[in-house]
Amino acid sequence: MKQTSVTTNAPCWVELGTSDPAAATTFYSELFGWRPDRGVRPDAGDYTQMFLGDASAAAITPRYGPQQPIAWTVAFAVADAAATAAGIEAEGGRILKEPTDVFDLGVFSVAADRSGAVFILWQARAFPGADVFNEPGSLGWVELLTRDRAGATAFYPAVFGWSVAPSERYTQWGLDGQDFGGMLVMGEDFPPSVPPHWLPYFSVADVDNTVDRAVSLGADVLMPSYSMPGGRRIAVLRDVQGAAFGVYSAPADS
Same domain, 213 and 237: yes
Q: At 43, is the secondary structure helix, strand, or coil?
A: helix
Distance CA 47, CA 105 (A): 13
Structure letter (DSSP) for residue 79 = S
Structure letter (DSSP) for residue 228 = P
Which of 69, 99, 124 is the last residue in one of the domains?
124
Question: Is 119 within the bounds of a domain?
Answer: yes
> In this structure, what CATH number is given to the domain that contains residue 51?
3.10.180.10
Q: At 150, is the secondary structure helix, strand, or coil?
A: helix
Give the burial class of 106: count Cβ atoms within 10 A of its Cβ; 0-12 exposed, 13-18 middle, 19 or more buried.
buried
Question: Is 66 within the bounds of a domain?
Answer: yes
Which of 124, 148, 178 is the last residue in one of the domains?
124
| Containing structural domain, residue 242 | 139-249
Question: Is 241 within the bounds of a domain?
Answer: yes
Q: Could you tell me the end-to-end alpha-carbon distance of the chain, in angstroms, rounded to an integer?
A: 8
Same domain, 232 and 158: yes
Q: How many domains does the chain have?
A: 2
The alpha helices in the chain, defined as continuous H runs, are 21-32, 81-90, 149-160, 207-216
Same domain, 120 and 19: yes
| pLDDT tens for the chain, residues 1 to 254 | 578 899 999 999 999 999 999 999 999 999 999 999 876 555 556 899 999 999 999 999 999 888 899 999 999 999 999 999 999 999 999 999 999 999 999 999 999 999 999 999 999 999 999 999 999 999 999 999 999 999 999 999 999 999 998 877 789 999 987 889 999 999 999 999 999 999 999 999 999 999 999 999 999 999 999 998 878 899 999 999 999 999 999 876 55
Question: Is 131 within the bounds of a domain?
Answer: no
Same domain, 110 and 153: no
Distance CA 28, CA 52 (A): 11
Question: Is 188 within the bounds of a domain?
Answer: yes
Same domain, 171 and 203: yes
Sequence-separated (6 or more) residues with CB below 8 Å from residue 26: none
Same domain, 55 and 143: no
Which of 99, 124, 149 is the last residue in one of the domains?
124
pTM of the prediction? 0.95
Q: At 87, is the secondary structure helix, strand, or coil?
A: helix
Can you say how many angstroms the Cα of residue 14 is from the centroid of all Cα atoms in its chain?
5
List the Cα angle 121/125/131 in 5-degree steps.
80
pLDDT at 166: 80
Same domain, 96 and 31: yes
Same domain, 103 and 183: no
Distance CA 167, CA 62 (A): 38
Same domain, 98 and 147: no
Question: Is 133 within the bounds of a domain?
Answer: no
Question: Is 1 within the bounds of a domain?
Answer: no
Question: Is 90 within the bounds of a domain?
Answer: yes
